[in-house]
């Protein structure tokens, strides 16, 4: 079977654009990138010459890595080790990219500058896409040549993207860019909080940088940490469930999802979120009804570490979903039953305390001010309130 025929068969993995771009970012982080820049350019009404480009300042690749790993499906086992390793199956760059385009160009620099294209017509070739001469790309190539190392991934012939856009092609394209930024904000939140990477979308200025965000609000004084639950599995590996009761008012999280959607389990592998939100088809033992996402538990978020030794048991081949393996299901369910019980008891206790506490205007203002200060996504109304509080303080 021809290599390009294999690629055609792998085009229906169901990656969203944000998920595919995350595959590229995973590779950058695995190769020790500090900065990752994502650019999306829509050329005209048809989008024929549009492109997507991801640039990093990581280790880059030598010829062997480029030809025998990045542009092919490697036979050898994953040799990348360490806590920044995000390669699970070794196919993410190809399957993720070709779900949206028909040509990938890789420009990489380690010991020397290398350029190769993989497309459906020619397979691996030295031929570069026509947009390589676009002034925007040329300016970035000039900057890149001065870098000590790094990699550029360039998607062209965006057939899956252009044919699904109809009359609103351009606006929808950039709407996908915004969705990708929100996706990265959550998926790489630990890296952003620890300032290990910088993620930029369509620019290099501060306004283009993805702001750090913690879905568990660990540094917020109103967050309540419930006891951890540590689990070992007979098949190998262990995990820890870390439950948090987030503040009642988190403001606008700007993730494109409701608070109900964001409750439940967050599965992380090497500090990277793989899948999140909801209860992953779990429920009470011997009861057909599964746990649903609803108002009752919308302040409960649980961080779950995926065992590195058995990652492939947990993660789908497209690395976008977690399916809890059979040998882990009962133990996780048992822990969750206790966590959900602890949560309801704590929430009930908090409500009783609030009812006993006398409510006055000063207390209300303090709570509102605390909410505004801890909200990273302030709207105009919040800014106006904050200004009013500051003016009151000055007068007093």
Q: Rounded distance, CA 241 to CA 337, Å?
A: 12
Q: Which residue has the higher pLDDT, 11 or 211?
A: 211
pLDDT for residue 306: 94
pLDDT for residue 1: 46
Q: Where are the beta strands (DSSP E) in the chain?
A: 35-41, 51-56, 103-109, 113-119, 123-125, 150-156, 198-201, 224-225, 229-232, 238-245, 264-269, 272-276, 300-305
Please compute the mean of the pLDDT values over residues 49-53 and round it to a whole number.
91
Element (H, E) at 166: none
> How high does pLDDT run on average in the chain?
86
pLDDT for residue 375: 63
pLDDT for residue 176: 85
| pLDDT tens-digit series, residues 139-148 | 999 999 999 9
The full set of domains in the chain, from first to last, is 3-208 (3.30.565), 224-356 (no CATH)
Please compute the mean of the pLDDT values over residues 229-234 and round it to a whole number.
93
pLDDT for residue 6: 67
**Residue 168, C-beta contacts closer than 8 angstroms, at least 6 positions apart:** none
Q: Which residue has the higher pLDDT, 103 or 393?
A: 103
pLDDT band at 83 (very low <50, low <70, confident <90, very high): low
| pLDDT tens-digit series, residues 337-392 | 999 999 999 999 988 777 666 656 666 666 677 666 666 566 667 777 777 777 76
Q: Rounded distance, CA 84 to CA 337, Å?
A: 32
Q: Taking the model in full, what pTM does it have?
A: 0.85
pLDDT for residue 288: 76
> Would you say residue 24 has pLDDT above 90?
yes
Q: Which residue has the higher pLDDT, 34 or 386?
A: 34
pLDDT for residue 206: 93
Please compute the mean of the pLDDT values over residues 290-312 and round it to a whole number.
94
pLDDT for residue 343: 97
Is residue 107 within 8 Å of 115, Cβ to Cβ? yes
Q: Rounded distance, CA 257 to CA 265, Å?
A: 15
């Amino acid at each position: 079977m021809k290599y390009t025929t294999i690629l055609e068969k792998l085009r229906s993995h169901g990656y969203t654009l944000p998920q595919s771009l995350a595959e590229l970012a995973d590779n950058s982080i695995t190769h020790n990138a500090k900065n990752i820049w994502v650019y999306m350019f829509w050329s005209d009404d048809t989008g024929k010459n549009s492109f997507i480009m991801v640039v990093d300042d990581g280790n880059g690749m030598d010829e062997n890595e480029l030809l025998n790993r990045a542009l092919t499906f490697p036979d050898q086992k994953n040799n990348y080790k360490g806590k920044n390793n995000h390669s699970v199956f070794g196919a993410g760059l190809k399957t993720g990219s070709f779900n949206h385009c028909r040509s990938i160009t890789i420009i990489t620099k380690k010991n020397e500058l290398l350029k190769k294209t993989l497309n459906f017509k020619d397979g691996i070739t030295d031929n570069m896409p026509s947009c390589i001469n676009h002034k925007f790309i040329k300016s970035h190539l000039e900057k890149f040549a001065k870098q000590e190392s790094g990699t550029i991934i360039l998607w062209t012939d965006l057939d899956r993207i252009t044919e699904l856009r109809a009359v609103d092609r351009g606006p929808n394209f950039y709407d996908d860019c915004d969705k990708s930024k929100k996706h990265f904000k959550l998926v790489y939140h630990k890296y952003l909080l620890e300032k290990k990477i910088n993620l930029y979308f369509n620019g290099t200025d501060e306004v283009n940088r993805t702001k750090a965000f913690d879905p568990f609000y660990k540094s917020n004084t109103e967050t309540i940490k419930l006891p951890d639950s540590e689990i070992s599995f007979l098949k190998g590996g262990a995990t820890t469930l870390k439950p948090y009761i987030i503040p009642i008012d988190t403001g606008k999280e700007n993730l494109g999802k409701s608070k109900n959607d964001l409750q439940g389990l967050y599965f992380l592998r090497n500090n990277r979120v793989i899948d999140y939100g909801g209860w992953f088809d779990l429920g009470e033992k011997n009861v057909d009804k599964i746990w649903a996402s609803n108002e009752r538990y919308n302040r409960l978020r649980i961080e779950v570490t995926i065992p590195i030794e058995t990652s492939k048991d947990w993660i789908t081949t497209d690395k976008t979903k977690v399916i809890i393996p059979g040998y882990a299901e009962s133990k996780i369910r048992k822990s969750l039953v206790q966590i959900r019980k602890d949560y309801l008891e704590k929430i009930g206790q908090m409500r009783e305390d609030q009812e006993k506490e006398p409510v006055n205007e000063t207390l209300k203002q303090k709570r509102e001010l605390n909410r505004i200060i801890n909200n990273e996504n302030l709207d105009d109304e919040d800014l106006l309130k904050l200004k009013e509080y500051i003016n009151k303080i000055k007068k007093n």
